[in-house]
Each structure stands twice: as C-alpha cells, then as structure tokens.
Structure 1
Amino acid sequence: MSRVVSCLCLLWCGSLLLPIAGCGPGSSSERSTTVVILGAASTKDALQEMAEAAQQELGEDTQIEISTGPSHALAQQILSGAPADIYISANQKWADELVAAGLTENSTAWLANALVLIVPEGSSQKVTTLEDLTNDSVQRVAIAGENVPAGIYAQQALSYHKLWEPLVAAGKIVRGHDVRSTLAYAQRGEVDAAVVYSTDARLTDQVQVVAHFDPASHDQIVYPLVRIHTPEPTEAADRVYTFLQSDQAQAIARKYGFVPLTSDRKGE
C-alpha cells in the first residue's frame, strides 16, 4: 500500500493513487506510486512472481497491486471506470473491447497457453480419453463460465470433438466462476473431469491430465498485455509494462508453462 506521510492529500487520477505531501519542508520528495494490474485468473501465480521481481527494480517508492479474476469481469470493471494501469486478458476479445472504447495506450500478444482435460487424482472413473466423458458413469464435467475465455475455449474444443451437445443434453456441464474455480472443483473431487489450461493443471498434484486438446479444436489461446490509458503519464506503470515483456519475466512465464509471444501491436 502507498506510504502515508504527514499532512498528505490524496489525488486520484484514474488508475494512479498518488499520495502528495501537502506541507512541511522537503515533503515534496515523499511520494509513493501504486501500479494496478488486473489479470486473468490463470496468470495469478506467474504474475505474482513477476511483480515481485519488478518490485526489486522499481524500489520501495513504487508498489504493485494485483487483482485477478475472469477476464470479461475485469474488462467490464475497466469499462465502468475502475482504476487500472495494466490489463491482462486470456483472449483477444476483451482486450479489443478496451481498444474500441479508446481506453488503451498499447497492447502486445504476450503469452500463449494450451487446453487439457483433467480428472481428480485417484479418481475411480475410467476417464482416459475425451470420448469417455459420455460414459454413463461420468456425471459432472466442469468448465469455466460462458463469458470466461477458458469456458469459451472449452466449449469450442468439446464442440469440435462432437461432445458438447451430448454433454449438455445429459446435464453434465458444471460451470466455474473462472478457470481457477473450475480447477478447484476437480481438486476437491466434486466433478468427474474438468477442462482447464495446462498451466493450471501444473499447479497441483491433486489432479491428473488425461488428454490434451488439439490446438486446432479451439481459437488460439493468447494473452494480450494491455497498457491502459491514464489521464497523466505514469512512468512507473510504463516500466512495469516493459518489465513484463523482459527476458526475466518471460523466464518466469516459461516456468509456469506459458509460451511467451513477441508480436507487438498498437492499442490506439
């Protein structure tokens, strides 16, 4: 959180919360900047480690705050005026919504991911292929919400394999709030199978990957990194945006199973 200095007044400038010293000799140098990142739920762990690394470079006068959740919900928050400096979506659609609204400075195709089918570790269900999802013994298959990128990709992939309609007709589909809650259903054994990103499945030993979806079965899973427009130039946010594209950040992304991308594009 921003440091509190004596006699400060708060200036709220969109996504920048900047304590300003309002009195006392030499107090003008006492400043602390907060950079706010809103990121897709699936980036939570990697993003936290990246932020910690960026924090070391920026120093204590700049704090990085991260909030993760469904990409569409975060985008809607920004569209409604919520403060943010950087936005990370799990698909291009929601980044494009912000671009169309004139709320961005720049964006880049940042990371890529893959889709997998998981089952709870030690499950008694004999689910080893996608087709096994239609077995009568399989009662609940979890995917993320219909507006969540992971849920959109999952529905596309299941439709590609002609499994979506049979699963819906049998009442087997269970929707998670986001991909992490979908993963949690499988971790707790509350569903027989779930469709999540491969990066999510790597985070726990409580699930087992039983199938990998062909990338051709769904839209390419791309995470745009978006620099949100702020009323005043924000050097700290620019530095964080640049750091997230650095070799150090890409190494962290690879550790969590993401594939770094390098295609830059303007978001104006």
Structure 2
Amino acid sequence: MFRGLLALLFSLFALVSCAPSEPKGPVVLAASSLQAPLEELAEQWRASGRPPPVLSFASSPALARQVQSGAPGDIFISADREWIDYLAQQGDLDEAGLRTIASNSLVLARHDDGTSISREEVLSQLGEVPLATGDPETVPLGRYARQALTSEGLWDKAESSIVPTQSARAAMVLVKRGEAPLGMLYASDVAEEADLETVLAFSRDSHDPIDYIAMILPASGHPDARGFLEFLASPKSAAVFARHGFKRP
C-alpha cells in the first residue's frame, strides 16, 4: 500500500511538472504612482486575448538602478525624464520609441480626520508638523515638491519638517494613515483615497512638467512589448488614466 501511495504521488508530481506554464506578457517596470491605472489596463490587455503583462512598481530611481544592474524587463515607465536620460547614458536609447503616456499635477494634501480647517490654518502648520513627500534629492515627487514650494515662497518654512520617502506611494500612505498630517502628493493619488483632502493645488508653472515617459528597454525581446507600449499611449488608455486622476500629456 505504501509503495502504491508513493507511485501515485510520483505520478501527480510528474503531471504538475509537465503541465504547460501560463504564457506571460512583457515585464513592465513602472513608477509606483501608476499602479491603479496600469493594473486596470493590464486587465483590459488580458481580456483582449493576450498574455497579461507582469507589473512591477517602485520609485523611478529604484527601477532605473535595477535596470542598470541587469534586472530583466521589457518596458520602463518613469515619473520624469531624468531617469530616462540616466538609462540612456548606460546604453542605446531609441528616442523614436519613447512615449509620454500621461501627466500629473501636484497638491498639498492633508489627512482627512473629519475636522474642518481652513487653507490658511493648514499653511500655518508648514514647518511645524511632518510633511511627507518623495526624497527631494532622488525621487521625482520630491523634486517637484521642492520646486513648487519654492515657487510659492514656502520651501524655507517647510524644509525642516519634510519626511522624505523613497516613492510617491510611500508618501501617500503616510498621510493616509495620519502618520504625517500633511503631504506634497500627486493629485492622482489624492483622487483615489477618501482619507485624503486637497488643501492647495499647484499650477503647472510652479514645477517641471510631471510627465510619465515609457520606453522599451534595449534588452527586451518580448514580441508584445511594442504592442503594449502603443496600447498605453492610445486614446483608450488615456481615458483610463483620466478616471484615476491623471491628465493627458
């Protein structure tokens, strides 16, 4: 009986190990603020009969350094041009293959604790309470935040209370949880969260354009990489980005 059980287990293992693996779409390395719309677009792509893309989210600098170190990937989507240029310095870059797929705007947001507070009262708290945003030295969100606050004459007051994070999503989570009462965040992240309230929306003139630029990586060999990139840049995808608080590029 024991031998029969072993034979049955061996047969089951053989069947599982021989079963064909599910085909996978291109590997997409994308800025963390794009998670919601890209997950929806990946599902639309899968529903059209194509293998679903493999999505990996982190900050633009972290992903760029992973690519530089040889991490596998087919498409890289950065929250600014700087990290596209960084990779271009490491190898070939097909400028014709770049696509700007969406843009964003910047807001000062607060944790919505149910109380009412005026904009003036919130601004008076700058420098007094933690203000979460991306690391201004490396993370695109942080650089945009520094530019916007400087443009409004608020950087010197706010700088001492900055809580620098390694991604836009990490900054958003701190404010959402109330661990940081204030945050310089992307408008798209605030639009997705009921626990966040916009206090001040910054004009586009106050900072560099917040454009999401996608590129096919030189080492990519996936046959669907180009097609998925064009899908992300299509009018159909633009409507999805808009539903999640992004703007047309």
Is the pair's TM-score, using the shorter chain for normalization, greater than 0.5? yes
Contact 1:125 1:138 in 2 (8 A): no
Normalized per residue, the structure richer in helix is: 2
Letter in 2 for 1:227: I
2:18 — aligned with what?
6
1:163 — aligned with what?
154
2:108 to 103, 109, 117: 117
Q: Which structure 1 residue ranges, 5 or more long, are not aligned?
A: 9-18, 20-30, 262-268
Report the number of matched residues: 231
Q: Kindly tell me: are residues 172 and 34 of structure 1, through their superposed partners in 2, closer, same or farther at Cα, counting changes over 3 Å? A: same
- Shift >6 Å, 4+ stretches: none
1:50 to 27, 41, 44: 41
Taking only aligned residues, the RMSD between alpha carbons, in angstroms, comes to 2.4
Contact 1:134 1:167 in 2 (8 A): no
For the pair shown, which has the larger CA radius of gyration, 1 or 2?
A: 2
**Alpha-carbon offset, residue 192 of structure 1:** 2.1
Residue 157 of structure 2 aligns to a residue in which SS? Answer: helix
Residue 209 of structure 1 aligns to a residue in which SS? Answer: strand
Letter in 1 for 2:148: A
**Alpha-carbon offset, residue 52 of structure 1:** 0.8
1:253 to 241, 244, 249: 241
Q: Please give the residue correspondences for 1:20-59 in structure 2 after superposition, counting only pairs within 5 Å.
A: 32-59=23-50
- 1:96-149 CA-to-partner distances (Å, cap 9, x unmatched) read 2222322544212221110001111126584514x8434489421111122111
- 1:140-178 CA-to-partner distances (Å, cap 9, x unmatched) read 11111221111110011111122212223xx31111221
TM-score, with length taken from structure 2? 0.84
Q: Kindly tell me: are residues 36 and 210 of structure 1, through their superposed partners in 2, closer, same or farther at Cα, counting changes over 3 Å? A: same
**Alpha-carbon offset, residue 231 of structure 1:** 5.8
User: Within the alignment, does 1:243 sit opposite 2:234 as a pair?
Assistant: no
Return the alpha-carbon distance in structure 2 between the equivalents of residues 132 and 7 of structure 1.
59
2:130 — aligned with what?
140
Contact 1:119 1:208 in 2 (8 A): yes
User: Within the alignment, does 1:197 sit opposite 2:186 as a pair?
Assistant: yes
Contact 2:192 2:245 in 1 (8 A): no
User: Within the alignment, does 1:175 sit opposite 2:187 as a pair?
Assistant: no
| Percent pairwise identity | 29
Contact 2:126 2:157 in 1 (8 A): no
TM-score, with length taken from structure 1? 0.78
Normalized per residue, the structure richer in strand is: 1
Letter in 1 for 2:72: P
**Alpha-carbon offset, residue 54 of structure 1:** 1.1
Contact 2:28 2:73 in 1 (8 A): yes
